[in-house]
Amino acid sequence: MTKIKKIAVFTSGGDAPGMNAAIRAVVRAAIYNKLEVVGIYRGYQGMIEGDFIELKSTNVGGIIQKGGTILLSARSEEFRTKEGREKAYNQLINHGINAVVAIGGDGTFTGARIFTDEYDIPFIGIPGTIDNDLYGTDSTIGYDTALNTVIEAVDKIRDTACAHQRLFFIEVMGRDAGFLALRSAIATGAEAVLIPEVDLKPKDLKQHIEQGRTRNTGGNIVIVAEGDKYGGAFEVAEKVKDDFKNYSIRISVLGHIQRGGSPTCYDRVLASRLGVAAVDAILDDQQSIMVGLMNNDIVHVPFNKTIKNKKKIKPQLYDLVDILSI
């Protein structure tokens, strides 16, 4: 294998709080190990176009607390083509880059796996997505921050729900996974939650809401994952409105507020650990793997596994919503 002298780092896909902390960790761990570091702007598209910048320790000072990503993010249709990947490879070779750290989700890792199958430049992945839907890691960068953002928003909405005796359907992100919705439902004391992994029909919501009504809380909260099979909050509310004629129904879609903001302590530490682990993996001649965290230990998961395997919801967590809504 080529001796590693210079590495690159980029962010791709949806931004997540803590990506900057991960960039910082990669850069400083690389410098600590006497490696040069290049940042790639705009993900795979920037790789194709050669939109690179040399990164020193000073470039990543004061960014650990910032949301978003200083390297920007973009999706690249061109990278899906063999011609696009060849352009990206030539750019990496022309800049003397021996290995790449990719921070993102399964789309990012899918691109990295295909690229490493075609070319001899190792890629190491760092899981960065608020959805927490990547197999092989207990938590992804940005998930904890997004959870806390959702909790703060729902707590405020509940104040209004109680004051006006309203039923709120609150839609949260997560794409086709319900991790964000489920944990936020538990943490906010929601009366019910709809997630893609569990087939709770909208018509069955009435029982859950009536249970909440017996406590005379005055307001009720239903958390809806955006990827639920019955639709988002607007669609679900429309399906059940005739069952709740005694309620004033309101809908809130939290949207992209969940992706922004300063990362929590947990996400900053997680990003720092994974950033250093990614550089260690490169120096250990690893390639085509994701560095993750399982039971608080760093693990290496092949891209094939993290892409092909579906991360599962724990049934015990879903049962908590039922138990605690009594």
Residue 113, token pair as written in the block: 């796996």
> What span, in angstroms and rounded, lies between the C-alpha atoms of 141 and 15?
10
Contact (CB, 8 A) for 124 and 4: no
pLDDT in the model for residue 211: 65
Which pLDDT tens digit goes with each residue over 118-172? 999 999 999 999 999 999 999 999 999 999 999 999 999 999 998 888 999 999 9
Residue owning tokens 């919503």: 321
Angle at 313 between CA 111 and CA 214, to 5 degrees: 140
Domains of the chain with bracketed CATH: 6-142+263-308 (3.40.50.450), 144-259 (3.40.50.460)
Prediction pTM value: 0.95
pLDDT band for 218, please (50, 70, 90 cuts). low
Q: What pLDDT, in 10s, does the model give residues 281-309?
A: 999 999 999 999 999 999 999 999 999 99
Alpha helices in 119-245, H assignment, sequence order: 143-164, 179-188, 205-213, 233-240
**Confidence band, pLDDT 50/70/90 cuts, at residue 86:** very high
Residue 310 confidence (pLDDT): 93
Catalytic annotation, residues: 131
- The amino acid occupying position 321 is V
Q: Are 43 and 75 in contact (CB under 8 A)?
A: yes
CA atoms of 92 and 40, how far apart (whole Å): 10
Cα–Cα distance measured from residue 203 to residue 158, given in angstroms and rounded to the nearest whole number: 23
The identity of residue 54, as a single letter, is: E
* Phi then psi dihedrals of residue 54, to 5 deg: -70, 135
**Overall average pLDDT of the 90-119 stretch:** 97
